Amino acid sequence: MDIIMIVVAFVFGFMVKQLGLPPLLGFLAAGFVLNFLGFEGGADLEKFADTGVLLLLFSIGLKVRLKNIVKPEVLAVASLHVMLTVAVLGSLVYLLSFSALSIFAGVDWKIALLIAFALSFSSTVFTVKVMEEKGEMSSKHGHIAIGILVIQDFFAVILLTLSSGKVPSVWAFALLGLFLLRKPLITLMERSGHGELLILLGLMIPVAGASLFDLVGLKPDLGALLVGMLLAGHPKTVELARVILNFKDFLLVGFFLTIGLSGLPDLTSFGVAFLFIVAIPFKVVLFYLLLTRFKLRARTATLSSLSLATYSEFGLIIGSLGASKGWLSNEWLVVFAISLSLSFILASQLNNASLTIYSRFHTFLRSFETDKRLPDDQMLVVGDVDAIIFGMGRVGTAAYTKLSERYGKKVVGVDSDEDRVQQHLDNGLYVIHGDASDYDFWERIEVQHKKIKLVMLTISCFEANLYAATQIRERIPDILIAAIVGFEDQVEPLRKAGVSLVFNVHKEAGTGFADHVCNHVKELAGAELSPL
């Protein structure tokens, strides 16, 4: 990218960040400003953006298990939502074709359905970015939302393939052989170590997968997604996703700039875009009703629905396709870009306040729940334990081991990642599935013994630790609460919430390391060394 574009993107991203909004909204605004100033994206920026999207889809695939997307609450909800949204919004767009608005002139029912189809999808980029920032990728509602987005991506591929008029090559069936590459690729990852080789591999695999799919007449993006899913589930993929994270985020700046550079808005474009924004609540409510019909709890359904309260980048692809075939005017590209941008702004506010929204309206929202609960929504019973650890990642697992082995404490771990919980159970640890930031979790958990004296909060999300501390202090006033933080400005809010001990994992890691070395040196100095 031109250095001027990078500087402008940073300035706008920084300003938006100070308002409490995701920087990606600033990148979109930067694209519109650059367009107004006469800048053009060009082929280099487009390649930059495409690579960012490939890495995004690959990183999603690394975290998606097939078992999570074939569940009825994902597959059926995604399918029904697309069909109902296309029917309702398609009818609305068709009715507007009889209005005096010039942009709707010549829009027949087929084009109306095409526009509605583009508006039925939610933004993969936005949802993943928001969930990564909030540490919710492994939560129940995170799995639901990502699963729905994956299904939507498959629908998108089908439409693009049919509309392009290109029939996939017979060699497409050979892609089934990719399953044979899982073990070799995993071996390659393991032998690449932890440095630059692993980074290069993380960049090479999605690009190679996309190229293979493109060669046989399939959408390249699908290749990056499926190759990621092929590798999902192996411990090394967690590290792989982490090492490509910064590259992915940087390259996606090009994607958001490309959206803004797609055209300049006028009064009509803004008017139609605002009209489409009014339909966002319909999409959210429809998601919520469908998810609760499939036995999901109100909280899970609410957070999943709010995370999907956007329009998708796919609308721009539909606009480009329609414009290239003469179905739509170029003005529709701008409408889709503005609708996408405005939906991001709306969804940012909704997701920032998602926990507050549910806490305030939980009584009303829970009235839509079905009588029968899914297995992971049953009452949680905690037996005779001394301590509870919320967040069983690396820090939580180490704390669990230390309390159990060194001090003989009976400990229970709580984690929102179903796969991680199962892994701990397989290793003989007492861990239950639950989300500490879940309002209903505190209604479902039942502590049978009053022996518990310690709660440790080791969740990576600061907001989740803060909320959990508030709930614990309210229910068990005299218990000792300890929590981790990553930044110094997070200490005081936790202390005000009732946390007795706060441990800065970055600041105090060196202190702990020094203490460990000093203790070891003391032991050596006091020991009788045998001759070599």
Which of 332, 366, 400 is the C-terminal boundary of a domain? 366
Over residues 114-137, the pLDDT tens digits come to: 889 989 999 887 887 788 777 677
- Specify the pLDDT at position 277: 93
pTM of the model: 0.69
Q: Could you tell me if 95 and 112 are in contact, meaning their C-beta atoms sit under 8 angstroms apart? A: no
Q: How far apart are CA 233 and CA 184, in angstroms?
A: 15
Residue 378 clears pLDDT 70, i.e. is over it: no
Band (pLDDT 50/70/90 cuts) for residue 446 is low
- Specify the pLDDT at position 126: 81
Name the more confident of 441 and 250. Answer: 250
Can you say whether residue 295 is alpha, beta or left, with left for phi > 0 and alpha for psi between -120 and 50 degrees? left
Over residues 331-360, the pLDDT tens digits come to: 787 888 888 888 988 888 888 888 888 888
Residue 145 clears pLDDT 60, i.e. is over it: yes
- Specify the pLDDT at position 67: 74
Band (pLDDT 50/70/90 cuts) for residue 263 is low
Q: How many domains does the chain have?
A: 2
Residue 284 clears pLDDT 90, i.e. is over it: yes
- Specify the pLDDT at position 364: 93
302 and 384 inside one domain = no
Band (pLDDT 50/70/90 cuts) for residue 525 is low
279 and 390 inside one domain = no
- Specify the pLDDT at position 529: 41
Amino acid letter, residue 402? K
Over residues 72-119, the pLDDT tens digits come to: 889 999 999 999 999 999 999 999 888 877 888 878 888 899 889 989
Bridge partners, residue 456, by sequence: 389, 482
Which of 315, 344, 366 is the C-terminal boundary of a domain? 366
The highest-confidence range among 153-157, 289-293, 318-322, 391-395, by mean pLDDT, is 289-293
389 and 347 inside one domain = no
Neighbouring CB atoms inside 10 A of 283's CB total 24
391 and 333 inside one domain = no
Q: What is the CATH number of the domain that holds 430?
A: 3.40.50.720
- Specify the pLDDT at position 512: 66
398 and 296 inside one domain = no
- Specify the pLDDT at position 308: 93
Residue 188 clears pLDDT 70, i.e. is over it: yes
Over residues 203-230, the pLDDT tens digits come to: 899 999 889 888 887 778 778 888 888 8
- Specify the pLDDT at position 531: 43
Domain around 494 = 379-526
- Specify the pLDDT at position 140: 77
Residue 447 clears pLDDT 70, i.e. is over it: no
Residue 9 clears pLDDT 60, i.e. is over it: yes
- Specify the pLDDT at position 532: 34
- How many percent of the chain have pLDDT more than 90? 14
451 and 359 inside one domain = no
Over residues 288-326, the pLDDT tens digits come to: 999 999 988 888 899 999 999 999 877 776 776 777 777
228 and 140 inside one domain = yes
Q: Could you tell me if 66 and 229 are in contact, meaning their C-beta atoms sit under 8 angstroms apart? A: yes
Amino acid letter, residue 335? V
As a whole number, the mean pLDDT across the chain is: 81
Which of 339, 366, 393 is the C-terminal boundary of a domain? 366
Q: Is residue 252 part of a domain?
A: yes
What are residue 387's phi and psi, to 5 degrees?
Answer: -145, 150
355 and 393 inside one domain = no
Residue 200 clears pLDDT 50, i.e. is over it: yes
159 and 235 inside one domain = yes
Q: Is 481 helix (H, G, I), strand (E, B) or coil?
A: strand
Band (pLDDT 50/70/90 cuts) for residue 280 is very high
- Specify the pLDDT at position 383: 66
Q: Could you tell me if 351 and 135 are in contact, meaning their C-beta atoms sit under 8 angstroms apart? A: no
Band (pLDDT 50/70/90 cuts) for residue 376 is low
Q: How far apart are CA 209 and CA 487, in angstroms?
A: 38
281 and 410 inside one domain = no
Amino acid letter, residue 433? H
Quote the distance between the C-alpha of residue 367 and its chain's center.
Answer: 27
Q: Is residue 374 part of a domain?
A: no
Q: Is residue 153 part of a domain?
A: yes
- Specify the pLDDT at position 530: 43
Band (pLDDT 50/70/90 cuts) for residue 444 is low
CA-only gyration radius of the chain, Å: 25
